[in-house]
Amino acid sequence: MPAYAKMILDLVNRPDHHYTAEGIFLELKKENPKIVLATVYNNLKSLCDQKLIRKVSVEGQPDRYDRIVRHDHLVCRRCGRLSDIKLSDLTESLRRQTGIIDLTYDLRINYLCPRCRAAQTGESSDGEA
């Protein structure tokens, strides 16, 4: 695996991080000043094609990249904040109900994060979801 691909994979595999391509670029640039954004995009595409990472798209937000480990997401409907949530795997239940054997799903639950809820009500927010 090319060195930049390995660095990107290591970043994306951090729990509770959902980097954009630009975020990955800025992180890598700290240690690798010669890296260019095109290199990041090319490696992200390759890693996605190899199914080593996945792209998470949220309407109105830049694509983010995530680890493959089975989990779902909470998405703030106001700021687009993406948080991991571990729920029971629904694959078997969906297969039984639909009769479709080869299926996958990507569950995103829309909510209002504590920061946006506090801003909406004019309160301060200590915790994050």
Q: Is 89 annotated as a binding residue?
A: no
Residue from 84, 76, 74 nearest 116 by CA: 76
Tell me whether residue 48 is annotated as binding: no
Helix (H, G, I), strand (E, B) or coil at 100: coil
Residues contacting residue 61 through CB under 8 Å, at least 6 positions apart: 80
Phi-psi region for residue 92, left (φ > 0), alpha (ψ -120 to 50) or beta? Answer: alpha
Residues tagged in the binding site annotation for Zn(2+): 76, 79, 113, 116
Residues tagged in the binding site annotation for Fe cation: 72
Residues tagged in the binding site annotation: 72, 76, 79, 113, 116
